[in-house]
Structure formats: structure tokens, C-alpha cells
Amino acid sequence: MSGLDEWRERIGTDAAEQIMKDAQIHGTMTHKLCEDYLNNKESNGDFLDIPKNHFEKLKPYLHKMNNIQGIELPLFSDEFKIAGTCDCIAEYNGDLSIIDFKTSRSRLMEHYDKVQKYFMQATAYSLMWKERTGIDIDQIVIIGSEETGDIAEFIKIPFDFKEVLIEKIEEFHKLGTTYRETL
């Protein structure tokens, strides 16, 4: 039984479904606020308090970005036969980066196995970007806004995850499973 299944059993299916639905809504709204801000667009619509709070906490980190190459950028790889949509590719503190925004009900450091998957995902985007443009990505940045009021900022080098990622991609193709199932 997976950790998610254990959690669902512990709190009940209905409660788990509601929490997951709320988390998805909060994450989508927070991403929209960040995307609009980075595009210098005014955000229209009603946004819930939790996504607005996440956005306000993320805003100082958005100011570390410059020379934006793409926001919500679809990427794919012919070599690895994978695809996905990257939150942002920009310079972060002066280094070209894959940047991923996360929202979390709990502290991300307490779920470091989950954060490792985020590093793998961002590394995949860096490989896809390199294949499409010929340009290397210097770093991957995961910025997580936690409902505890904290921000978690992780800065890593994609090379550190490349070998394991390629193994996971190979497993994916051998088993005929989806990419997320192999992570």
C-alpha cells in the first residue's frame, strides 16, 4: 500500500478527495497569479485567500527572475520520447534555470522523497530544453509555498539527477507505463 493509500484510509475517502480537490484548485490559482505577474498582466477573477496568500509569499522569489525564456512552456523530447509543460524558464539569480512553483499543505522538507521527484521532473525539462534549443540549463529551482506560512527554496544542478532520470525513462519505455508511475 502506498503512502497516499495509507493516508486516504486513515482520513477517509471523502475527506481525502476533498483535500486533493482543494489542493488542485489552490495550485492552479496560484500558478495563474504567478504566470500573470511574470507576464505583467493583471489577474482577473475571484481568487481564494489561500492562493492569494501563496502568491504574496512567492512574489519576492519572482523578483529573482530575469530574462524569461518561457512561462507554461510545452516541451518534448524526440530522444527520450517524453513531454511536459514547464512552469518557467528564466535566469534565477543570474543563472538560466528551470523554475517550478509548488504549493503544499505541509512542510516540503518533511516530504523530501516527493521533492526528489520534483528535481527529476525539472531535470527532464532541462533535457528537453537542451534538445530543442541547444542551450544548457545551469540549475533547477523548486519554490514551494507552504500553508504553514513558510517558503521552501531548493536550488540544484540538473546533472546530479540526469543518470537516475534516464534510468527511470528507460523503465518507463520497457514497462509501457506512464512517466509518473516510474518516479
Q: What is the pLDDT along the chain (183 residues), one digit of tens a residue?
A: 666 677 678 878 777 677 678 778 887 888 788 899 898 898 877 777 888 888 899 999 999 999 999 999 999 999 999 999 999 999 999 999 999 999 887 777 667 777 899 999 999 999 999 999 999 999 999 999 888 888 989 999 999 999 999 999 999 888 875 545 444
Torsions phi, psi of 151, nearest 5? -120, 135
Q: How many domains does the chain have?
A: 1
Q: Identify the pLDDT of residue 134.
A: 98
Q: Identify the pLDDT of residue 182.
A: 46
Closest CA to 101 of 38, 9, 45: 38
Provide CB contacts within 8 A for 145, sequence distance 6+: 30, 53, 54, 55, 57, 58, 101, 102, 103, 104, 151
Q: Are 146 and 106 contacting, i.e. CB atoms less than 8 angstroms apart?
A: yes
Q: Which three cell numbers stand for residue 45?
A: 477573477
DSSP secondary structure string, 80-127? TTEEEEEEEEEEETTEEEEEEEEEESS-GGGGHHHHHHHHHHHHHHHH
Q: Are 60 and 92 contacting, i.e. CB atoms less than 8 angstroms apart?
A: no
Range of the structural domain that residue 125 is part of: 3-182
CATH number at residue 135: 3.90.320
Q: Identify the pLDDT of residue 107.
A: 72
